[in-house]
Every structure is written in structure tokens, then in C-alpha cells.
Amino acid sequence: MPPQVLIASYLEPEHVERIRAEVPAVDVVYRPDLIGAPRFQADHTAPMERRPGQEAEWRELLAEAEILFDFDHTHHEDLPALAPKLKWIQATSAGIGQAVKRYGYDRQGWRFTTASGVHARPLAEYCLMAMLMFIKNYPVMDAQKRARHWQRFNNSELRGLTVGIVGLGRIGRDIAQVCNTFGMRVLACRRSGAKPPQTVDAQFAPNQLDDMLPQADFLVLCAPHTPETDGLLSAKRIGLMKAGAVLINIARGALVDHSALKRALRDGRLGGAALDVTDPEPLPANDPLWDMPNVIISHHSASTADTENGKLTELFIRNLNHYLNGEPLENLLDINLMY
């Protein structure tokens, strides 16, 4: 019997057929009627309520699955009991470490591969967009447009400014490349002591983060959420940031002390923030961040591009071939490091 692959979140039919065509040695099962209908392109967390008969069918499919494309978001807690043959999950997200620990999947002997790299370019472009919006005074443009008021103003340029990047994985390296292209000074803080790419002007160890913060005009958080990074940008560290600096968070909301962030934004200590993620998430409707003119909120959507599923399919096909050939899988999650 060929290994059974169960696709657990929406994937366009052309991508499903490509998997079947390029990896005929696996049995690909795709039942879009049993998973949530996408609310937007590349939606992998669409809600789904199955009728009793549909639920029975889905459980039968889980019972035979050796490989899952994406987590089954309808059975977080009882997946180990429902999928006794499961050996590997290919995630559609890069930041899966917390979820794997939370649901106890790390104790099942399963392998997990992340989508690391798939979202790097969209996120790098988002960071560039945010930097340009603040450096070109978009809040002033928007306010004057709303007031129908015409008043000339000045702005600045990115060349010569300093960006500090916390986390130098694939996303961080793409951000560094983009910023370097615009003539910015690039600083990076990373856990690994590996030699930095040429696009990085100076590299800092985690215990040197406090030395990097006062130098950065823009601070980009793109590190994984682990016990070590939880609350990383504390009130004390926000106080160390350069006056007027802009925070860009594309990591997880839990990395930031949001109470301290709001105070710094209100009193002008920070110039602004671009928040793709918040804590809590979704952001409550009464949270003051919604009304701050110097805050961009992007609803955890900065990484969601119309190219995503094509890239995920390419990664999955490569990993399926690695799996069948007994080769190391790409983007294998380190259970202990959580990334």
C-alpha cells in the first residue's frame, strides 16, 4: 500500500493534481467538502462544521493517513487517537513550535516540517512598506486627505538609516537584503553564532540585544516564539530604543510588552509601530492601538500572498520525495528549539 497523504486544509485543485502527478508513489486524498472553505486565498485555518456523516468520513480518512498536509484544525486535542498511522505533518506556517508543544504532539514521535522560507519575501516587502510609510509621513498624508486640507510637508529617505533585525532566519535574511539594497545600515541579533551574510553590517548575540536597540531607527522582530523570546521586548528594552524609532513586529505578539508599547506610542517615545501580530490576537475592538494614527495593523496577513500555495506545493513535493527516499526532510522542526 502506498503512503496515504491527507490534505487537511484548502489547496487549489491544480496544486493537488501537481502533487499527484509529480509524486505518483503516494496516495493523495483531498476532500474539499470535508474541510473549511477558504475565506481568502491561501487561507489554511478556515472554520469547518461537519454533519455527523461528514465527520465519520473525515475520521476514517484520518485513521489511514501516514502524512498530513497541514494540521487538522478540527481535531487539535484528539489527533493522536484519531490518526494512529500518522508519521509526518507538513505545516503551512513557519511558527509551529508552540502549537506542537501545546497539543502534546512532541510526545508522539511524529516529524514536523515547517513552511520556513515560503513567506520570507512577502514579509520582507511588508517591512519595506511599513518603513516607507513612516519615513514618507503617510500618517500626515492620510490625516490631511481626511480633512481635505492641502499643506506641504517634508519627509526623509531610508538611505543611511539603521534597521535592527531580531532573528536572522530566512525571513530576517530577506529583510536584510531588501534594506541593504536601499542603502540602510543593517544590524542583526541572532541566536546562532554563524557568520552573517554580507548584507548585515554588524551582528549581535542575544545577550547583546540591549546594545543594538539604541542604534536602530527601525526594529524588526522576526524571531520565533519560544520560552527565551517570550516577552523579549520588555518595558525596559522599549525604553532603550532610539527616540522616535519604529517597531515592526512580524513574529508573534507575545514577544512584546504591549502595555509598555502603548505608553511609548502615546507619549511619543516611539515614532510608530507596524503590527502584523498582537497580544491578544485578534486585537479586541476596544484596544487603543486601533485609534493610534502612528500604528499600522495588518491582521496577521502580511505573509499571506497569492503565491503562497504554489510555494507550499513545491516544498511539499520536494519533501515527499525526500520522505520516500529516506532522505532528510527540509525545514524539519527541532522539537527542543521549537523552530
Name the residue with cell 546562532: 192
User: Residue 153 has which C-alpha cell?
Assistant: 510637508
Please name the residues in contact with 267: beta carbons below 8 A apart, sequence gap of 6 or more.
none
Which residues are designated catalytic? 252, 281, 300
Please name the residues in contact with 1: beta carbons below 8 A apart, sequence gap of 6 or more.
27
Cα 312 to chain centroid, rounded: 14
Sign, CA torsion 116/119/123/125: positive
71 close to 50: Cβ distance less than 8 angstroms: no
In terms of C-beta distances under 8 Å and separation of at least 24 residues, what long-range contacts does 4-7 make, across chains too?
4/29, 4/64, 4/65, 4/66, 4/67, 4/85, 5/29, 5/65, 5/66, 5/67, 5/68, 5/69, 5/320, 6/61, 6/62, 6/64, 6/65, 6/67, 6/68, 6/69, 7/35, 7/69, 7/70
Beta-carbon count within 10 A of 163 CB: 27
Residue 98: helix, strand or coil by DSSP? helix
Please name the residues in contact with 310: beta carbons below 8 A apart, sequence gap of 6 or more.
15
Phi, then psi, of 7 in degrees rounded to 5: -85, 115
User: Residue 222 has which C-alpha cell?
Assistant: 522576526
Sheet holding 67-69, edge to edge: 27-29, 4-7, 67-69, 88-90, 111-113
User: How far does the chain reach from its first CA to its final CA, in angstroms?
Assistant: 33
